[in-house]
Amino acid sequence: MESEMRSIGETARDSGLGVSALRFYDRAGVLVPARVDPVSGYRWYAPEQLEEARLLARLRRAGMPLADIRLVLAGWAGADTDLVRRLLEAHLRRLERGLSDARTEFSALRALLDDRENPMTSLSEDTAVRLSLSGSALAAALDAVRFAAGTDPGLPMLGGILFDVEDGALCLVATDRYRMAVARAAAEGPAGSRVRVTVPLPLADAMRALLDGDDPVRLSVDGDRVTLETGDRQTAGQCLGHDFPDYRRLVRLPAGRRAPVDVPAFREAVRTGPVRTGEVREQDGVPCDLTVLEVAADGSVAPAGDGAEGRDLVAVNRDFLLEALAAGAGDRLVLEIGDPTAPLAIRRPDDADTFSILMPVRLED
């Protein structure tokens, strides 16, 4: 029997619950492991507990309250399944009522949106705006934000890069909801100008392909058309016909602990370090592994070990973290870590206007 016991990692992998969730449900007395090592505290599960774990994962994904989950698990293997059926039906009715309430609220919100006018997020002003800036500066700004752009066809307004021109300065922003990147490029242009357009990703990539040196380039926005000229080459196209969200509201983060990192060493630690085995969350419909970060007493930050627990752990999509570190384009960056539910900021120590933020992933329900 001992040889048939399953480790917590194996149980997580085969059930879809995740190691942290199994620990949580153990502490809650919902799914208690068959054996706990008295020395290491490591949890071991009996073979028949895998079916319970898979059932628990389904109930969890359906959002069933913990009190009802306890009763479903207790009655699942019994001869009389009437209680289980009634609990499932009651939860389905709750979900249907919640959906009905949500539809009502969203209808009200749509009506409010229809009545609102927001001139600050109009596609562009009527007058053309022309900027001159360094090709290398624009290339660096595009490289800093491109990774965060959205690809969800259901959210076309996020499928590009915002070019925000104000008083001659150019700010680039991209977001897919789960991460956001912001970069600023110095530019020369008319004072008092303000125009915001969202450049579709294919056009932004075509712009980047033209930028191969420090020579000045010319950026023009005329209505919903944007043009980039460098030397005798140019690329141009239509901007997206959607408003980009007000990114300035989204980057106002509460102050967190600042932890400088050596980027090559930290990236390698993240790439090869522990992930929450079987810990899967849906982000844009793509399952993701999580890196859990922990700030030590001396202020350093590193991926936490598989058995780490506590309220100060911050979990993020590992691939998103690696991409943000690469986009930081430097050997030294600063991670700003706040509450586990607050976004993680990745900042350049010498450039306050270029940074990215990642949304955290909740480890426990």
pLDDT tens digits, 135-179: 999 999 999 999 999 988 888 888 999 999 887 789 999 999 889
Rounded to 10 degrees, the C-alpha dihedral 324/327/333/337 comes to: -20
Q: What is the DSSP letter of 120?
A: G
Out of 33-42, 54-63, 114-123, 350-359, pick the least confident.
114-123
Percent of the chain residues topping a pLDDT of 90: 35
Structure tokens at 100: 């009905």
Q: Give me the pLDDT at residue 199, please.
A: 94
Mean pLDDT, rounded, for 46-56: 92
Q: Exposure pattern of 237-256 as b/e (b: 16+ CB <10 Å)?
A: bebbeeebeebeeeeeeeeb
What gap in Å lies between CA 360 and CA 344, rounded to an integer?
7
Mean pLDDT, rounded, for 37-62: 90
What gap in Å lies between CA 67 and CA 335, rounded to an integer?
38
3-state secondary structure of 91: helix
pLDDT tens per residue, range 278-325: 444 445 555 678 888 888 878 788 888 766 666 678 888 899 999 999
Residue type (1 letter), 146: R
Mean pLDDT, rounded, for 198-221: 91
Nearest to 64 by CA among 40, 86, 36, 92: 92
The helix (run of H) or strand (run of E) holding residue 160 is strand 160-166
Q: Give me the pLDDT at residue 3, please.
A: 59
Report the DSSP beta bridge partners of residue 237: 226
Between these two residues, 308 and 184, which has the higher pLDDT value? 184
Q: Is 309 exposed, middle or buried (0-12, 13-18, 19+ CB in 10 A)?
A: middle
The helix (run of H) or strand (run of E) holding residue 179 is strand 179-185
Out of 15-19, 35-39, 296-300, 357-361, pick the least confident.
296-300
**Angle between helix 135-145 and helix 201-210 axes, rounded to 10 deg:** 140
Q: Give me the pLDDT at residue 124, please.
A: 44
> Looking at 202-330, which runs of residues are DSSP E strands?
216-222, 225-230, 233-238, 257-262, 281-283, 286-288, 290-295, 301-303, 314-317
Mean pLDDT of the residues in the chain = 84
Contact between residue 300 and residue 259 where contact means Cβ atoms under 8 Å apart? yes
pLDDT tens per residue, range 234-264: 999 999 988 888 888 878 777 778 899 999 9
In the block, residue with structure tokens 């993240």: 270
Query: Does 86 have pLDDT greater than 70?
Result: yes
Q: Give me the pLDDT at residue 223, please.
A: 86
Contact between residue 314 and residue 344 where contact means Cβ atoms under 8 Å apart? yes
Query: Does 277 have pLDDT greater than 80?
Result: no
282 to each of 207, 274, 290, 309, 321, how far by Cα in Å?
32, 19, 11, 22, 16
Residues 6+ apart with CB under 8 A from 307: 41, 42
Tell me how many degrees the CA angle 355-361-365 measures, rounded to the nearest 5: 155
Out of 141-150, 190-199, 326-335, 346-355, pick the least confident.
190-199
Kindly list the structural domains of the chain, giving each domain's residue range(s) and its CATH number in brackets, ordered by start.
6-91 (1.10.1660.10), 129-238 (3.10.150.10), 257-361 (3.10.150.10)
Tally of CB atoms within 10 A around 322 = 15
